[in-house]
Amino acid sequence: MHPGRQLAVLGAIFVVLYLLVFLAGGASGSFTDRLTPKLGLDLVGGTQATYIASVEGGQVPSKESMEQARGIIEERVNALGVSEAEVVIQGDRNIVVSLAGKADDQLKDLSQAAQMRFRMLVGTTGDVALVALNPPSAAPSAAPSAGASAPAGAQPSNGGSAPAVQNAPSSGGQGGGEVVKAPAPSATPSAPAPSPSASAEAPVSADTQQQRAAVQKKVGAAAWAAAEKLTAPVDLSTDTKAGLPFANFAKLTGEEVNALTPQMQFNVPTVGCRQLDDRPNGAIDRVDSQAVACYQSAKVLLDKAPVVGEDISTASPQLDQQTGQWVVSLDFTSAGSAKWAALTRQAFEATSSDPCFVAAQSLYGQVDHCAVAVVLDKNVISAPQIQGVLTGTSQITGQFTSASARQLADQLNFGALPVTFTSGPAQTVSATLGIQQLKAGLLAAAIGMGLVAIYAFFYYRLLGSVIFLSLILSGLLTFGALVFLGRTVGFTLTLAGIAGFIVSLGVAADSFVIYFERLKDEIHEGRSPRSAVPRAWARARRTIISANTITILAAVVLYIVSVGAVQGFAFALGISTVLDLVVVFLFRHPIMTMFARTKAFLSPRVSGLGRVLRNATTDPKEA
């Protein structure tokens, strides 16, 4: 064999790995910073946030729904590139998420319900709680109202075109407002868009009725009666005093506004976007009821939702080649595709007298067809004008970044939370105990490695240097892989992971014993040390591979069936065992081949073969 070639390959692996460590995967900062692994909550501390579940009527959520919510939140955390996060249920209503380091930005959107709804836009008005009612500008770039909050992943631009939903790939648009391009429409006639005032409200629960009674008492019987009689939004542009009878509605909280009917939320001029945005999560999730939201400085009335998030099979972030902007691509299920085609057909074939057409014209100015709003939880991501029947993959476009597009896609892929949550207290978690444990663990590992080195040099002498160098190389490979994986795939080093690395060193030491004892057996059988090395390697190799394969398989199974810290232990054990095999084949055997050609290897006192080598040299037959 040519040991130099194998050692050169190992050297190339080291060069490539540490080039990746210092230059790739978003490496930045000083030399020390680039060599710092991603440490877990138990080592560096972090942030702990509490989410409080709420169910209509104040009931306690079921254990099944809480466990499902915990699993979805954990998947969302892991999708952010954060591994070994702690997501646990506390009590009947709380889910506590703990992340290493400062993770406030990562935690803030985890409890969003991620309920996506596609609704026809059937009415619009200015935010008359703040300004007089005037038709919005034809430009779709109006800034959002002071009380409106942008949805996660999509923020309206302050200039240029607003977000849109379109066939993929994008084919541009024309006309006023947001536009969707699509193939030629089917000739199938569509049902007319429903009238905002004619749509009957879906049945409400007894709790909602009680809340409405409380709101009625707060605003007064006269104001409530006047609000019930409204069939259209009050126009304050002609009479600024027309809103005075409804002044008490401006005092309602978001939760109280949520108890009003959609028609009252839309028609009452003193119910503004700030109150609508303060409604609890899940306020407009019902698919069998109309809904009111804010979009581009206007209150908009949305029809029932014939297409929902469950109709989406996959969502993925993509970089649009034509615009260079990040988009979220949607693929629908077979049933969802049919619903989506029917909804876009209805919007495309509506006439100029339909409410949806009038609403789109009020929002955008000159339009050709109705608009369909893409609603995520309480927020309208976009409300594009439909210019064809959409049957294939569609895209949600907006002011996405790579991270925000990924976040929205993950929320849709991992499903909506079965219960709604409100954010509870967040606090910083100290790592004092973890640091003490880390120091104790590293001290124990150093003592153990020192004892192994002393024993190796005492028992194997020259061969002990092979053990020592191999463990150092294996450790350097493992450390480089740890830093690179932490930066690219989010692997987080915890105390459990350190335990996995230490256990792998014991497995590596066992393989030395197998190889060297096999070498002694070959010399016992009368072979010279030089010829015994390749034969010992050929026989020991199978045993070493088998033993390491079993360890790797055990680590894989443990990683699949476990969670949290145990999963981190399994990952660390598996990757370090694989890297040990690399060192075995590219360093241990080549260096032994080179040692076998030296005079020192033939010396019983220096080689570490001792009595075996002396017996083989002086009396081969007896050996």
> What residue type is 197 in one-letter code?
S
The mean pLDDT of 354-383, rounded to a whole number, is 84
Closest Cα partner for 283 from 378, 395, 361, 204?
378
Phi, psi of 328 (to 5 degrees): -110, 115
> Which is more confident, 46 or 586?
586
d(CA 339, CA 310): 12
Confidence of residue 286 (pLDDT cuts 50, 70, 90): confident
Sign of CA dihedral 291, 65, 151, 173: negative
Interval 186-215 mean pLDDT: 59
pLDDT, average across residues 141-165? 33
The reported pLDDT for the residue numbered 13 is 92
**Residue 255: burial class (beta carbons within 10 Å; 0-12, 13-18, 19+):** middle
Rounded CA gap, 69 and 235, in Å?
44
**How far, in Å, CA of 35 to CA of 617, rounded?**
50
* Band (291; pLDDT cuts 50, 70, 90): very high
Evaluate whether 614 touches 607 at the Cβ level (below 8 Å). no
pLDDT of 6 over the 60 cut: yes
pLDDT at 558 over 70: yes
CB 103 within 8 A of CB 406: no
Query: Are 93 and 61 within 8 A, CB to CB?
Result: yes
Strand blocks (E) in 127-217: 165-167, 179-181
pLDDT of 62 reads 81
Residues 601 and 595: beta-carbon distance below 8 Å: yes
Specify the range with the lowest mean pLDDT, choosing from 42-46, 69-73, 374-378: 42-46
Backbone angles phi, psi at 593, to 5 degrees: -65, -40
Return the pLDDT at 394: 80
Q: Where are the beta strands (DSSP E) in 235-383?
A: 291-295, 298-302, 307-308, 312-319, 326-332, 372-376, 379-382
Is the per-residue pLDDT at 232 higher than 60? yes
Dihedral pair phi/psi, residue 329, rounded to 5°: -90, 135
Query: What pLDDT is stored for residue 225 in this prediction?
Result: 92
What's the confidence (pLDDT) of residue 130? Answer: 31
Question: What token pair was written down for 314?
Answer: 């996959």
**506-509 contacts, C-beta under 8 A, 24 or more apart:** 507/547, 507/548, 507/551, 507/577, 507/580, 508/470, 508/471, 508/474, 508/580, 508/583, 509/452, 509/467, 509/471
Dihedral sign (CA 108, 114, 115, 116):
positive
For 414-417, the CB contacts below 8 A with 24+ separation are 414/72, 414/75, 414/76, 414/79, 414/114, 415/72, 415/114, 415/309, 416/72, 416/113, 416/114, 416/115, 416/116, 416/309, 417/69, 417/72, 417/73, 417/111, 417/112, 417/113, 417/114
Would you say domain 46-112+421-429 falls under CATH 2.60.40.1220?
no
Question: Cβ of 302: how many Cβ atoms within 10 Å?
Answer: 29
**94 three-class SS:** strand
Which residue matches tokens 């096999």? Answer: 518
pLDDT at 576 over 80: yes
Does pLDDT of 138 surpass 50? no
Q: What are residue 46's phi and psi, to 5 degrees?
A: 170, -150
Measured from the Cβ of residue 421, the count of other Cβ atoms closer than 10 Å reads 24
- CA gap 316, 325 in Å, rounded: 14
* Helix intervals (H) in 284-366: 334-349, 355-364
Could you give the CA distance from residue 56 to residue 285 in angstroms, rounded to a whole number? 12
Q: Which two tokens stand for residue 204?
A: 């409400």
Distance between CA atoms of 93 and 421, rounded to whole angstroms? 9
Q: What SS3 class is residue 518? A: helix
For residue 301, name the pLDDT band (cuts at 50, 70, 90): very high
pLDDT per residue as tens digits for the range 12-43:
999 999 888 888 766 777 777 788 787 777 77
Tell me which of 3.50.50.60, 1.20.1640.10, 3.40.1350.10, 3.20.20.70 is the CATH number of domain 3-37+432-618. 1.20.1640.10
Q: Which residues pair with 123 in a beta bridge?
A: 301
| Range of lowest pLDDT (84-88, 273-277, 415-419, 444-448) | 415-419
Q: Is the pLDDT of residue 620 over 70?
A: no
The residue type at 417: L
**524-534 CB burial, b ≥16 within 10 A, e <16:** eeebebeebbb
pLDDT tens per residue across span 475-516:
889 888 888 888 887 777 777 888 888 888 777 778 888 888
Strand 312-319 and strand 394-400: pairing?
A: unpaired
CA dist 174 and 181 (Å) reads 9
Calpha distance 181→514 (Å, rounded) = 69
CATH architecture of the domain formed by 116-196+305-399: 2-Layer Sandwich (3.30)
pLDDT in tens, 91-116: 888 888 877 766 555 566 666 666 78
CATH 3.30.70.3400 domain range(s) in the chain: 46-112+421-429
User: CB–CB of 554/568 below 8 Å?
Assistant: no
Strands 179-181 and 385-387: parallel
Cα separation of 611 and 523, whole Å? 11
Read off the pTM: 0.52
Each residue's pLDDT tens digit, 401-428: 887 788 778 777 766 676 777 777 666 7
Q: How far apart are CA 76 and CA 153, in angstroms?
A: 14
Instruction: Name the average pLDDT for the chain.
Output: 75
**Peptide linkage before 245 cis (omega within 30 of 0):** no
All CATH 1.20.1640.10 domain ranges in the chain, comma separated: 3-37+432-618
* pLDDT for res 252: 92
**pLDDT on residue 149:** 31
Residue spans in the chain of domains classed CATH 3.30.1360: 116-196+305-399
In this predicted structure, the answer to whether residue 302 has a pLDDT above a threshold of 90 is yes
Flag whether pLDDT at 522 surpasses 60: yes
Task: Report which of residues 613 and 544 the model is more confident about.
Answer: 544
| Model confidence at 440: pLDDT above 60 | yes
**Residue scoring higher pLDDT (192 or 328):** 328
Amino acid at 458: F
Report yes or no: 117 and 308 within 8 Å, Cβ to Cβ.
yes
Q: How far apart are CA 356 and CA 559, in angstroms?
A: 53
Q: In whole angstroms, what is the distance from residue 76 CA to residue 71 CA?
A: 9
Q: Tell me the CA end-to-end span of the chain in Å, nearest whole number.
A: 28
Identify the pLDDT of residue 181.
39
pLDDT, position 177? 39
